Structure formats: structure tokens, C-alpha cells
């Protein structure tokens, strides 16, 4: 956990997941934490960050080749080309990667026995916040808007969400397991 008031979570290649204290303090249940962690686990499983790094490296090579091809010594143009990779990283993952991680994250959390609506609950909390809040600036820069993410989940996953929500939750399954012995 990062001791930061901002609201964010992210994974890095290799599987380390970071959550800010600001985000965790806004959560109301373990299911919400499981939903966010599962979203980040999905990024790792799908290698979204590795693919983004590879894509940025290819773009960087193309920018370097273009810079070398320039005959004049226009440092401003070269600077813009060199910063292209940095800008790509700062923008975050592709929107499709984020939406895929939302869908897979819900499945991972639900299969682990958590409420399938944990991640959507976090997105609803974020949606209700002021988008101009400085604590949200980086998250809103690197992720699709919460309303868009919620809409995509509802459109593609509503029957799945309902099915998972109807399953016994973790504590109930544990009691059931103990009772069967």
C-alpha cells in the first residue's frame, strides 16, 4: 500500500500491485478490495503492461528512426519525438485493456467467493466524486471514466454479474464446508 491520499491502484509487469491509502480508505467492504485487486491481477494475467511497453518501445524505435532521418538539427522536433514514449506511458493502458480487466477482475473475485458487485461498487464511489478532485487526477487520466466502465460492465456482463451475485458468498461457503465434515 502506498501512503498517498490520491485514489489509484496499478500493477507493474511481474505482478506487484500497488494501492493507495486514499483508495482503500474509500472502500466499504472486503469485496470492494477484492474487486480492485482482481482488476489489477487481470492486467498481470493478460500482460497488458508488458504489451504496452512493447508497443511503446516499437513507437520509440520509430521515433528514433524518424529523428535520425531528419537532416537538420531541429532539437524541438527531436524532443517531441523522444517524449512520445513517455507520453504513451503517462496515458495508461488502452481503454480496451481497462475494460477487459474490469470484466475478468469481476470473474476472478467472484470465483474467489467475493461479491461480484465489489468492483462496480468502487466505480460507483468514484463516479460520485468530483472529477476535478486533485486526488483523482491521475486515475482519470489513465483510466476510462467510471460511468463508461459501469456502462460497459452492464452491457457485457449483467447476466454474469447476477449469476455470481446469487452464489453463496465466502463466509457462507466456509460454514457450509465445515458443516459437511
Structural contact between residues 157 and 103, judged by C-beta atoms closer than 8 angstroms: yes
Q: Could you read off the pLDDT of 105-158 as tens digits, one per residue?
A: 999 999 998 999 999 999 999 999 988 888 888 888 888 999 999 999 999 999
For 83-117, where are the alpha helices, taking DSSP H only? 84-91, 95-111
How far does CA 142 lie from the centroid of its chain?
A: 9
DSSP-based three-state secondary structure for 160:
helix
Please tell me the pTM assigned to this model: 0.75
Structural contact between residues 124 and 150, judged by C-beta atoms closer than 8 angstroms: yes
Q: Could you read off the pLDDT of 55-93 as tens digits, one per residue?
A: 666 555 545 555 555 545 555 554 444 444 344 445 567
Structural contact between residues 5 and 138, judged by C-beta atoms closer than 8 angstroms: no
Amino acid at each position: 500500500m502506498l501512503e498517498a491520499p490520491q485514489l489509484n491502484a496499478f500493477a507493474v509487469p511481474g505482478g506487484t500491485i500497488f494501492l493507495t491509502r486514499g483508495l482503500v480508505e474509500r472502500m466499504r467492504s472486503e469485496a470492494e478490495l477484492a474487486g480492485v485487486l482482481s482488476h489489477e491481477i487481470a492486467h498481470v494475467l493478460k500482460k497488458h503492461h508488458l504489451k504496452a511497453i512493447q508497443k511503446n518501445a516499437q513507437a520509440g524505435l520509430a521515433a528514433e528512426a524518424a529523428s535520425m532521418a531528419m537532416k537538420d538539427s531541429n532539437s524541438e522536433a527531436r524532443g517531441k519525438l523522444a517524449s512520445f514514449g513517455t507520453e504513451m506511458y503517462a496515458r495508461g493502458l488502452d481503454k480496451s485493456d481497462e475494460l477487459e480487466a474490469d470484466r475478468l477482475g469481476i470473474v476472478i473475485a467472484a470465483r474467489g467467493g467475493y461479491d461480484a458487485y465489489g468492483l462496480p461498487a468502487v466505480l460507483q464511489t468514484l463516479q460520485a466524486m468530483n472529477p476535478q478532485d486533485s486526488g483523482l487526477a491521475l486515475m482519470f487520466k489513465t483510466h476510462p471514466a467510471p460511468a463508461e466502465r459501469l456502462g460497459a460492465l452492464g452491457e457485457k456482463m449483467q447476466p454474469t454479474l447476477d449469476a455470481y451475485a446469487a452464489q453463496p458468498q465466502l463466509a457462507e461457503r466456509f460454514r457450509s464446508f465445515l458443516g459437511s465434515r
